[in-house]
Chain A
Amino acid sequence: GAVVSQHPSRVICKSGTSVKIECRSLDFQATTMFWYRQFPKKSLMLMATSNEGSKATYEQGVEKDKFLINHASLTLSTLTVTSAHPEDSSFYICSAREGLAGGKTQYFGPGTRLLVL
């Protein structure tokens, strides 16, 4: 079946540095990908919708300058956490939508755990 991968699976960085997380659809084209974050023992919160070839759409309260999203190809979306701080530590999960609306499946990546020291 279709697979979505994320890289890295785990990253530790110093406060003030930037971290890039990749989300790839391995055997299908994803015109739309979604980025979620999950705090410990909490649910997933949608951060933004990533559209291939256009700007991402951010949810209310998500800083677009803080969380840069680039969807440069039909199989790759990247999330860059800029000037990371300890409060950005979280589990980031992407998902990719295969095909257009209805009847198609959403695939979730395995997640990236970010720890900012």
Chain B
Amino acid sequence: AQSVTQLDSQVPVFEEAPVELRCNYSSSVSVYLFWYVQYPNQGLQLLLKYLSGSTLVKGINGFEAEFNKSQTSFHLRKPSVHISDTAEYFCAVSESNSWGKFQFGAGTQVVVTP
């Protein structure tokens, strides 16, 4: 069975500063990796995903993530955040042999202040 750990429950950051959200996973099989954002009282929006190929994945809204197989990590980064990036961010894993069945991390609340 897989597990997902988001190391930071909350990340405060100033506007226009960079941000990194950490995600580590464990699995006995190959995995697909995802980052989702959730705004208050809304559903999930896909930021980016890693299925195969290049380990550096670029997503929407200026976000990118890097898959590191040896460290079993998939950290999310943005070089310059906006106030509108204030939201909850979830890292998720789907094992290759059970595609679509997601295990979510606990989430990281990003709070951007002026």
Interface residues of A (CB under 8 A from B): 32, 34, 36, 42-46, 49, 93, 95, 97, 100-106, 108-111, 113
Given the known interface contacts A43-B90, A44-B90, the answer about A106 and B103 at a Cβ–Cβ threshold of 8 Å is no
Show 23 A/B contacts (Cβ-Cβ < 8 Å), sorted by A: A34-B100, A42-B106, A42-B107, A43-B90, A43-B104, A43-B107, A44-B102, A44-B104, A45-B104, A46-B101, A46-B103, A93-B43, A101-B99, A102-B32, A102-B51, A102-B99, A103-B51, A104-B99, A106-B100, A108-B43, A110-B42, A111-B42, A111-B43
Chain B residues positioned under 8 Å from A93 (CB to CB): 43-44
Does B96 lie at the interface of the complex (its beta carbon under 8 Å from any beta carbon of A)? yes
Q: Is the CB of A43 within 8 A of B105?
A: yes
Does B86 lie at the interface of the complex (its beta carbon under 8 Å from any beta carbon of A)? no
Chain A residues positioned under 8 Å from B90 (CB to CB): 43-44
Min CB distance B87 to A, Å, is 13
Q: Is the CB of A108 within 8 A of B44?
A: yes
Could you give, for residues 77-99 of chain B, a 1 whenever the CB lies within 8 Å of some chain A CB and a 0 otherwise?
Answer: 00000000000001000101101
Which secondary structure dominates where chain B touches chain A?
Answer: mixed
- Size class of the B contact interface (CB-based, 8 Å): 20 to 34
Q: Is the CB of A110 within 8 A of B43?
A: yes
CA distance A56 to B103 in the complex (A): 18
Q: Is the CB of A46 within 8 A of B43?
A: no
CA distance A25 to B32 in the complex (A): 22
B91 nearest in chain A by CB position: A43
Q: Is the CB of A101 within 8 A of B96?
A: yes
A103 nearest in chain B by CB position: B51
Chain A residues positioned under 8 Å from B51 (CB to CB): 102-103
Q: Is the CB of B102 within 8 A of A46?
A: yes
